[in-house]
Amino acid sequence: MKELIFEYDEMKRTMHPVRQAALFHLKFESIHPFIDGNGQTGRLLLNLELMKAGYPAINVKFADRRRYYDCFTAYKNENIELKKKLGLIPKSNTSPYRDILNIDENKVITNGINNYSSPKEKIKLFLNIFKGREDVFALRWEGENGKSGYSPAYSNEWKKGVCNKPKIKCSECLNRNLTKYDEDMVEKHLSGNKVVGIYALLKDETCNFLAVDFDKKSWMEDAKAFRETVVENGIPLAVEKSR
């Protein structure tokens, strides 16, 4: 978003108002900065720019919605092709490590969910992929001394008359009440209000997903070997390069 704000001033100086408003809208929606309301916010900003320049506001009718969404797809594809021609990304894919690992992003299971799906649909997809224990989850904490970590979430933590912290540890408290892992908590996690940790290992010592970290110099070869083994066993996977 910071880059877009900087670009905004340049676009205002060098572009026709209608073209500038359209390009700003395309870039804003491509960033998709919020968990919900990106389309409505983007169209409000689009109309604000048009009206500031003396043009009437526009209304994307339901019948034109597919054509409207197709414009975003075309914009994204044109950007990718341009970057390939400029040598900014490999011609065969968007990232070199994806070529080496032989990753087909189209095969990642999304159940038809995309950027334009409702928040509820996205949350359900998240819960379907990252399926752990539902009776408990962890919340990230940060102490005054700079330490940080994850601890189980309790609904009555620090509640007067119930919680006896710090005299009694949560693990030893008879009044502790674990908070359930549900759609509401996932929404808070995805919106950045909370940082949630999932307990992937179930009570029967099985799990629905694994998160595997590869590092050091051999990370790419190790990830490739792991991927090949997973594919041979018919297990779906997604590979992501961390920060």
Which residues carry a binding-site annotation?
36-43, 68-69
Q: How far apart are CA 131 and CA 208, in angstroms?
A: 6
> Across the beta sheet with 148-152, what order do the strands follow?
148-152, 138-142, 196-197
As a dihedral over the C-alpha atoms of residue 1, residue 189, residue 115, residue 75, rounded to 10 degrees, the angle is 20
Compute and round to an integer the Cα radius of gyration of the chain: 23
Q: CB of 163 within 8 A of CB of 225?
A: no
32 is catalytic: yes
Residue 66 phi/psi, 5° resolution?
-65, -45
Q: Which residues are annotated as a binding site for ATP?
A: 36-43, 68-69
Q: Who's near 209: CB < 8 A, 6+ residues apart?
A: 129, 130, 131, 132, 200
**Contact status, residue 49 vs residue 20, Cβ threshold 8 Å:** yes
Catalytic residue positions? 32
